[in-house]
Amino acid sequence: MAITDIERDAMRRAVRVAHNGPRGVNPQVGAVILSPAGDVLAEGWHRGAGTPHAEVDALSKLTGDAARGATAVVTLEPCNHTGRTGPCAEALIDAGVARVVYAIADPGERSAGGGERLRAAGVDVVAETNDPGARDLLESWLTVQQLGRPHVTVKWAQSLDGRAAASDGTSQWITGPHARADVHHRRALADAIVAGTGTILADDPALTARLSDGSLATDQPIPVVIGEREVPENAQVRTHPCAMLQYGRDLHAALTDLRERGVHRVFVEGGPTVASAFLAADLADEVLVYIAPMLLGGDRVAIGDLGVSTITEARRLHLASIERLGDDALIVLHPLDESET
């Protein structure tokens, strides 16, 4: 039987309560238990690694056989493995739940299969309803599962002729206030912001996300510095609300560590050397190029060596969108699918 209107309302409620849990290595998941008549019996959410999952959290608020014959509405497929907690599919079966509705299939090799386990036990299962709220809730976590690392956005600002600075090294400001506001908005959406030691030493950026009045945004990305050189104790980045992390030149190792820390989205914007390194390593999932209508000339190019020696080796990208921001333009690009190469 297809999902009912009452269950759709419950799914929206499950998405809302899921936001109570922390975002990180584990997904934010919400669950709502409905009586056979459609009344809400309990709700629950995952509170972090090692704590009961959303379904078990909701069931813990019921006594006796209150869940028998009930419907569990969950944002993510109930898990089917034992880690620090037991399998949620088994907990639902043991509680006597008669029907389970979930929005998104679990992509994990070890944790997937909860839906099949429930069906095998005689539970009515409505799978992968793809509720848009649940999709938005889990999108960044699902991306990390798919990539095996955080999603990486590489950003730079340049003149019309591809320069990141004037011949004397000055670069503030190539773009205007509308473009800079857009950058700060995107910084606030990221979990980590990356710059190279060259940019840290030359420009002394704070790597914060700020509002139009200059005050700090509520959400701040973790400042990450790539490079071996020491960051001075009086550097602005050390005054960031989040503690600075520093890694060597092994970008894969850096992204692995960031994933283990629960980082989903990385925003790379600190200098041509670091931006070029991510591009050369095929670690850019999104490219943002802010272009100002000015000409600078000279050799201060926005992107350095990518290992391209001939035109047939060019790194071609998919043009996703072009947006006007005041007098500047923002070009958003993505890697080509294999079918497009």
3-class secondary-structure state, position 327? coil
Give, in order, the Cα–Cα distances in Å from 24 to each of 77, 136, 213, 220, 329. 18, 15, 30, 15, 33
Catalytic: which of 7, 43, 55, 90? 55
Q: How far apart, in whole angstroms, are the C-alpha atoms of residue 129 and residue 8?
A: 9
Phi, psi of 138, rounded to the nearest 5 degrees: -100, 0
Is the alpha carbon torsion for 259, 262, 264, 269 positive or negative? negative
The Cβ of residue 233 has, within 10 Å, a number of other Cβ atoms equal to 6
Alpha helices in the chain (DSSP H): 5-18, 54-59, 88-95, 114-120, 132-147, 177-189, 197-203, 251-260, 272-280
b vs e for 7-43, b when ≥16 Cβ sit within 10 Å of the residue's Cβ? Answer: beebbbbbbebbeebebbebbbbbbbbbeeeeeebbb
| Angstrom distance (rounded) from CA 67 to CA 136 | 29
55 is catalytic: yes
Strands (E), 46-98: 71-76
| Pair 280, 251: CB distance under 8 Å | no
DSSP 77: P
Burial bucket for residue 310 (CB in 10 Å: 0-12, 13-18, 19+): exposed
Q: How many residues does the chain have?
A: 341
State the pairing for strand pair 317-325/328-335.
Answer: antiparallel
Catalytic residues: 55
